[in-house]
Chains A and B, each alone.
Chain A
């Protein structure tokens, strides 16, 4: 299985400031056939299911605010929230789909307001 490891486990950021979450995969999720990274990011607000934010490592899902961006390639990825809003208090997960159909998720990063 591809193991996904996120860091940090939790962080606190002031409103309007930048938040950065990292995700590392135990093996590359970059496909040589299409040059795409098989990596997605989700936000799970309290009491809600996860919501897809980013796929192909850097493609924003329709309707997702542009303060969310994804970057990275191979085994190292980053989710950046450029200006934290109150509604961004949530747990964030990365997920690989390179080893489809055996999908695996990171352990989650809890984001709070400082």
Chain B
């Protein structure tokens, strides 16, 4: 069955760029019914949707992060990526990649902890 796995740096310095990749295995990324998403969970705070990318190439971002976030995809290599610039301690969180089907998140990666610290 379809699986997602995040990878990337677990420690990022303040003001630098956070970069994560989600590799999709066991299935296809095709289909216009799906969105490929990033979600994060800061310690002690609510789950926060970061953004989506669609097979059409369209992207949508949370307005609270819009100026700092970019989601891209390499469809031929079954992966999509997150870049978050100018990070601060407030960006410390567990970051998840997920697939949205009918707009609910039906498949999640295991999550990766990213700490922003000097």
Beta-carbon contact of A107 and B46 below 8 Å: yes
Task: Answer whether residue A7 sits at the interface, using C-beta atoms and an 8 A cutoff.
Answer: no
Task: Answer whether residue B92 sits at the interface, using C-beta atoms and an 8 A cutoff.
Answer: no
A53 to B4, CA, bound (A): 18
Task: Answer whether residue A105 sits at the interface, using C-beta atoms and an 8 A cutoff.
Answer: yes
One of A38, A50, A61 near B47 (C-beta < 8 A) = A50
Given the known A-B contacts A49-B108, A49-B110, A101-B35, are A55 and B102 also in contact in the complex, defined by CB atoms under 8 Å? Answer: yes
Given contacts A95-B105, A104-B46, 18 further A-B contacts (CB under 8 A): A40-B104, A40-B105, A49-B108, A49-B111, A50-B96, A52-B105, A55-B102, A56-B102, A93-B47, A97-B103, A97-B104, A101-B51, A101-B52, A101-B60, A104-B49, A105-B46, A105-B47, A108-B46
